[in-house]
Structures are given as structure tokens and as C-alpha cells.
């Protein structure tokens, strides 16, 4: 599936940068701790735009601060 690239969720970095605990983020963004941990570990397969909006609101960041597109690496055999 990563032939198209992947989307990296940088929530763990943003939490550290903001100096906020996961518990405080969970309270303010109305998220469960397990959900936050899954976002931090990039174990989310489908992104919820409402959750992303709440995270950005609480952390005062932009969506591009939270998500990063990582293009697929080209295999030398795929080049023509």
C-alpha cells in the first residue's frame, strides 16, 4: 500500500513541543487516551476530520503541522 506513499501523524512531536500532557489533550480535545496513543504511534488507518480539527484547535497548530505526506521511494527496477 505504500507504493503511493504514506501520511505521517506528528502528534507526539506536537505534544512535546506544546508542553501538554496526553491527559490534558484528551480532556480538551474530547479524546480517549488510547485514541491519542494510536495517533502518536501512527496506528490510525482512517483519519477523522473532526478529531484532527479538535487536536489543531487545542494545540493551536495547522493541519500541515500535524500531518506530513511521505512519498513512496522509487525502486530502481521500476524506472523505465
> Domain boundaries in the chain?
6-78
What stretches in the chain show pLDDT beneath 70?
1, 74-80
The CATH superfamily assigned to 6-78 is lambda repressor-like DNA-binding domains (1.10.260.40)
Rounded Cα distance, 2 and 63, in Å: 21
pTM across the whole model = 0.84
Which tens digit of pLDDT belongs to each residue from 28-40?
A: 999 999 999 999 9
Amino acid at each position: 500500500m505504500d507504493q503511493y506513499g504514506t501520511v505521517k501523524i506528528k502528534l507526539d512531536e506536537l505534544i512535546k513541543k506544546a508542553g501538554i500532557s496526553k491527559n490534558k489533550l484528551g480532556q480538551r480535545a474530547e479524546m480517549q487516551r488510547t485514541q491519542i496513543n494510536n495517533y502518536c504511534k501512527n496506528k490510525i488507518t482512517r483519519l477523522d476530520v473532526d478529531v484532527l480539527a479538535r487536536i489543531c484547535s487545542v494545540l493551536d497548530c495547522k493541519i500541515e503541522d500535524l500531518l506530513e505526506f511521505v512519498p513512496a521511494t522509487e525502486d530502481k527496477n521500476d524506472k523505465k
